[in-house]
Structure 1
């Protein structure tokens, strides 16, 4: 076989040139993902969520429903209808696990204590529920921002044109509660967010038509006290009011299935949230 000088040079270069290392990246849906997609892909953030203790809850008053969404699809929700006709609504947003029995129980607790308020716990994962942190991380990471917004808009529309809204959510749902309040516009009357990632865009915050109650933990390694302080400053810049209650607790302290569950802090936070919602919804 005839080997030319050029062939030898090419072979030499291919053998001794440094090999470019391929970088392994955690897949994050930056374009279509949501504001917590990157956090969901972080193993350290996943470690903040121990797998929940198996829990089964049978509701005394709620039922699963379906409603239309503006993207041409349908979504699910757990509805607790007010015994008296009411245009007051509380939208409940799940943790990153999905619409599980823990969230249904929380929704029913608010329903029983608020009275004369329709409560709708919104399924943001289209029927999927995780029982392991790695699985929950994938679900939260892969939740399309457009789809999440469509589901929230569908829930708001389902309540009807005369509805007045309060919203509450934990972790992923804490972020969604704030986003929901912005989508509700002038119909928004209250917003409670438990240790959810705050919106930091001042221009977006200016669209809020309600004040916000933020409940956080000073030992939260996911939603840090520094990010909460930044949120307070940005709300002030936006001309909006936020009340922050910081507990000496970690991420997920209000979830009974979480090892960092703080019964005392959780009870106090619930009382604070309930009184706030009663005042704003005049319930």
Structure 2
């Protein structure tokens, strides 16, 4: 009898510890891991055929320290400006939708240079399975070199903002960390990186995080943990969540929420104007 009670007690406490550990682990999410989740893949609708008309920018190449070249969609400021915004694509790659978002940013903000980076080195996906493979196989070291090259392209006196969606949201945050004191504003749309307070020791830019309360992956627990760690590191952070689903700001997604997207864009523009453009 005593052995049975001991065994049942062991099972009970083990299950409690496991559930606590699982809950803790869920506050850190890896996009490479999410690419293996069929539900996550299926949540991303195939992008609509969209061809950018009257593009404001052009594709350029710049050198990276690993001896290669990187691609970017570059919109030069109408007037000479040291203000730059680095734009980071979703898991699809640098497609016309992201170029269109870049055009809109430049149109609304005025004298700022926009550099939409290609972290897939010229590859763009149109199928979920291909996008998942690209995101999973993304070489973090190569992406870091591309970002460093972009910061060097902007120049040592540049003031840098960053923005990205989903996969690109995490890279927006990483880029602002890499930008150090040059970083002035970081915007994340339902993106994340694995983080602790120590992660943000080199971050100087304030952060605006835009999230979806119905998101089954970047859940409220995940982005609240991000907020907690940013504040613990002494960083400025604004978190705004919407009653919407993952990828709600992508017009090619069935989860597209026009009202939430409009409000999120207004927040984004105000944030950039207050922290980068002033």
* Global fold match (TM > 0.5): yes
Alignment counterpart, residue 52 of structure 2, candidates 49, 57, 65: 57
Residue of 119, 125, 134 corresponding to 1:124: 119
Say which is worse superposed, 201-210 or 137-146, in terms of deviation.
201-210
Q: Secondary structure at the match of 2:50?
A: coil
CA contact (8 A) 2:61 2:69 kept: yes
Corresponding position of 2:258: 263
1:183 and 2:200 correspond: no
Instruction: Note the C-alpha offset of 1:58.
Output: 2.3
Equivalenced residues, count: 250
Q: TM-score, normalised by structure 2?
A: 0.88
TM-score (norm 1): 0.86
The unaligned stretches of length 5 or more in structure 2 are 1-28
Q: Indicate conservation of the 8 Å contact 1:59/1:108, yes or no.
A: no
Aligned-residue Cα RMSD (Å) equals 1.2
Q: Give the C-alpha shift of residue 96 in structure 1.
A: 0.5
- Could you give the per-residue CA deviations for residues 117-159 of structure 1, whole angstroms, max 9, x where no partner exists? 0001001100100111111000000011101101111111111
Alignment of 1:73-112 (within 5 A): 73-112=68-107
Mapped to 2, the partners of 1:104 and 1:282 lie a distance apart of 21
Contact kept, 8 Å, 2:30 with 2:193, in 1: the verdict is no
Deviation at 1:66, TM superposition (A): 0.2
Q: Secondary structure at the match of 1:267?
A: helix
Cα distance in 2 for partners of 1:66, 1:229 equals: 38
SS of the aligned residue for 1:269 comes to: helix
The correspondence of residues 1-283 of structure 1 with structure 2, limited to 5 A, is 35-282=30-277
Query: For residues 153-180 of structure 1, what are the alpha-carbon distances to aligned partners after superposition, in whole Å with 9 as ceiling and x for unaligned?
Result: 1111111111100000000010000000
Aligned mates of 1:199, 1:248 — CA distance in 2: 24
Q: After alignment, is 41-50 or 109-118 more displaced?
A: 41-50
What is the distance in 1 between the residues matched to 2:277 and 2:35?
36
Paired position in structure 2 for 1:28: none
CA radius of gyration, larger in: 1
Partner of 1:16: none
- Structure 1 stretches of 4+ with a deviation exceeding 6 A read none
* Alpha-carbon distance in structure 2 between the residues aligned to 1:214 and 1:198: 12
Superposed displacement of residue 222, structure 1: 1.8
Distance 1:151 1:92 in 2: 12
**1:94 and 1:172 in contact (8 A); partners too:** yes
Shift, 1:52, TM fit: 1.0
Structure 1 unmatched ranges of 5 or more: 1-33
The answer as to whether partners of 1:48 and 1:222 remain within 8 angstroms in 2 is no
